[in-house]
Amino acid sequence: MDLQENEGEDLSYEEILEDKNNNQQEIELFNTLKEKLTNEELKVCKLLYDGYSLREIAKKLKCSAENVRLIKEKIRNKLDKNSL
C-alpha cells in the first residue's frame, strides 16, 4: 500500500504492519537477487519489477530490446536453477 495514496486517511495498525512486512519481504528478495545476479541483470530485474516493458528498459539502458530479452532469459534461467 502506498502511503501517498491514503493521504488524509488514517491507516489502521494492520495496514501499517502489512506495508512494513511487504517492504521487508522486498528487501530480503532484493538481497537474495544481489547475490545471484550481475549488476546488469539486477538493473533489468528491478525495471521489470517496476512494470517497464522490454522496449522501455532498452531505451533506459541504451541497448536493444533483444539484448534486454536475452538478459531477462538469463535471469529466468538463474532463478529456475537456484530457486529462491
pLDDT tens by residue, 43-79:
999 999 899 999 999 999 999 999 999 999 999 998 8
Choose which CATH entry (3.40.30, 2.60.40, 1.10.3470, 1.10.10) describes domain 11-82: 1.10.10
Chain-centroid distance, C-alpha 70: 17
The residues spanned by each domain of the chain are 11-82
pLDDT for residue 42: 93
- DSSP-derived letter for residue 3 is G
How far apart, in whole angstroms, are the C-alpha atoms of residue 36 and residue 58?
Answer: 22
Model confidence pTM above 0.85: no
